[in-house]
Structure 1
């Protein structure tokens, strides 16, 4: 059985609707202001977006047990226990991805090497 068939239908539909809304909103924003205007506004709120991402990582880490019980309620208890045990691995990888991709450490390292 695939993961999508085991996930609650409202969760799948809600995530799909959120994705579509963000995509349509971003395209509309780009159409109205143009690429330069969007880039300028994003540059102005870059620090707030960074704080938002770190807050999201912290909320996921602190509330991991709750999230697993709520979203994984359809899973067997052993599977939920495995997910709960993997909390720090997931948070660790989220921190690594944040540092490497969002903070542009890879780009800065390439600039230093070149």
Structure 2
């Protein structure tokens, strides 16, 4: 699965959006130290790049609500994990790519 065409494309998208190149199937995408604008861009780009129906994606189950940019940057610098949020792994995203629509 890590050598699949979809994994390589997903890895490229993650590098483009977040600047992170070291991915495994168990990498948790929503634990990167990011701001909400990057997260939004990633989800929209994922949907577009892989032609996925993400209309049922429960954004706030995986990401925090959008915040004032300075607060978002502060949290990015000092937070290590997203407390109370479900993990969004590379493995899960690859399954979503296979089904062509969001699923839990």
TM-score w.r.t. length of structure 2: 0.31
Q: Which has the higher contact order (CA 8 A, sep 6+)?
A: 2
More helix by share: 1
TM-score w.r.t. length of structure 1: 0.29
Q: Report the structure number with the largest CA radius of gyration.
A: 1
